[in-house]
A = this chain, B = another copy of it.
Amino acid sequence: MSATFSKNDTQNMVIALKLASQGKYGVKSNPMVGCVIVKHTKIIAKGYHQTFGKAHGEINALQQINHQAQGATFYVTLEPCSHQGKTPSCAQAIIHSGVKKVIIAMLDPNPLVNGKGVVMLENAGIEVKIGLLENDALTLNQGFIKYMKTNKPFVRCKIAMSLDGKTSMSSGESKWITSEVTRLDVQKLRANHQAIMTGSGTIINDNPLMTVRLDNINLTPLRVVIDSKNQITNTSLNIFNADAPTLILNPTNTKTLSSGKLDLGNVLTQLGNQGINNVLLEAGPKLIGSMIKSNLIDEFIIYMAPILMGSNANSMLNLVIKNMAHKIKLNIVDVRMVSNDIKITATLK
């Protein structure tokens, strides 16, 4: 895949990626896909996948030009599908439109497609180039890709803590560690996930809503509670209101380990089976510790407030590490300010 691309190619793919991201609240377990069709250096059509189960981005673009694209170049952020799924094959539609060349950011990790779309296009005499802005395309659909490769959703762990690494006072008090602006940032983070997961301790101590509360956005990510000890019995808790669906996972409905705790890897597979590609983990130190120990966290978003909470407060992480040789290594992906808080994005190394 050592294809070379022109500056114009790159510009068109940037537009296609931006279009794709507009589908973020609608595509659910599908990938976001954007595309532009270019003829004589002019964009003649644009499209993106808008809604789960509805037309793919390629079809949305082709419809604008009555499926007539003779001699055009087709830029698409993900390999066009080869198979008839909920909608007809996009590769077939592209072939019929008369397109001459297709430029693809990344291959579809879905085993039903993976390379077959490209083969269909090439067999029809279309020139295909792959890999333009591939990393951006990979980042766009982390959840979809992770699920396709592992059957598990992408897990992003959000932590709001003080500069000395504390997430609550010994009394459990934690309102508020971070600024109002940061809390709004967390709402936007929630909106980008299909499920929000926490432990029974957080539910019992804080009785959170665990909903997306943003103006003009109506999203209801699944509320998932890890309840190893069947402690969630009070049906008047906020998670049981009508604002969003809720799934309580306990030994009755989930595989347990010999320790009596839920098998967290299995929990993720269970969520993946329900069409959930990405999960926001907003949990206490115990569940975060267990998730890290099981190597189940893909990314950390840490909001660090400019405060010190002192030595009797609870640490972000309940996980015993013997010595420096066993320390957990992270990659810092991004550091930026959100209002007065420091926002750190990191991955396990």
Residue among A311, A318, A319, A344 having the largest count of chain B Cβ atoms under 10 Å = A311
Is A289 in contact with B311, judged by CB distance below 8 angstroms? yes
Known: A332-B340, A332-B342, A340-B332. A327 touches B308 (CB 8 A): yes
Is A317 in contact with B164, judged by CB distance below 8 angstroms? yes
Q: Residue on B with the closest CB to A315?
A: B311
Q: Please, how many angstroms separate the alpha-carbon atoms of A318 and B311 in the complex?
A: 5
Q: Which of B171, B306, B324 contacts A169 (CB 8 A)?
A: B324
Interface string of A317-342 (1 = CB under 8 A from B): 11111111001111110010100101
Is B332 in contact with A335, judged by CB distance below 8 angstroms? no
Q: Which of B161, B289, B302, B308 contacts A292 (CB 8 A)?
A: B308
A163 to chain B, nearest CB (A): 6
Q: Which of B173, B330, B331 contacts A308 (CB 8 A)?
A: B330
- How many of these chains are in the complex? 2
Is B163 in contact with A302, judged by CB distance below 8 angstroms? yes
Is B321 in contact with A312, judged by CB distance below 8 angstroms? yes
Known: A165-B165, A166-B165, A285-B311. A306 touches B329 (CB 8 A): yes
Interface string of A208-246 (1 = CB under 8 A from B): 000000000000000000000000000000000000000
Q: Is A29 an interface residue (CB 8 A)?
A: no
Per the 8 Å Cβ criterion, residues 5-62 of A in contact with B are none
Is B321 in contact with A306, judged by CB distance below 8 angstroms? no
Q: Residue on B with the closest CB to A342?
A: B335
Return chain B residues, CB-CB under 8 Å to A342: 332, 335, 342, 344
Residue among A302, A306, A335, A346 having the largest count of chain B Cβ atoms under 10 Å = A306
Residue among A165, A312, A323, A346 having the largest count of chain B Cβ atoms under 10 Å = A165
Is A163 in contact with B285, judged by CB distance below 8 angstroms? no
| Total number of A residues with any Cβ neighbor in B under 8 Å | 48
Q: Residue on B with the closest CB to A162?
A: B327
Return chain B residues, CB-CB under 8 Å to A331: 306
Return chain B residues, CB-CB under 8 Å to A317: 164, 308, 310-311
Q: Please, how many angstroms separate the alpha-carbon atoms of A176 and B324 in the complex?
A: 8
Q: Is A174 an interface residue (CB 8 A)?
A: yes
A175 to chain B, nearest CB (A): 7
Q: Is A140 an interface residue (CB 8 A)?
A: no
A196 to chain B, nearest CB (A): 23
Return chain B residues, CB-CB under 8 Å to A169: 321-324
Per the 8 Å Cβ criterion, residues 146-196 of A in contact with B are 161-166, 169, 171, 173-177
Residues of A within 8 A of B (CB): 161-166, 169, 171, 173-177, 285, 289, 292, 302, 306-313, 315-324, 327-332, 335, 337, 340, 342, 344, 346, 349
Which 10 residue pairs spanning A and B have beta carbons closest together?
A: A165-B165, A310-B321, A308-B328, A306-B330, A164-B165, A307-B327, A306-B332, A310-B319, A312-B320, A311-B318
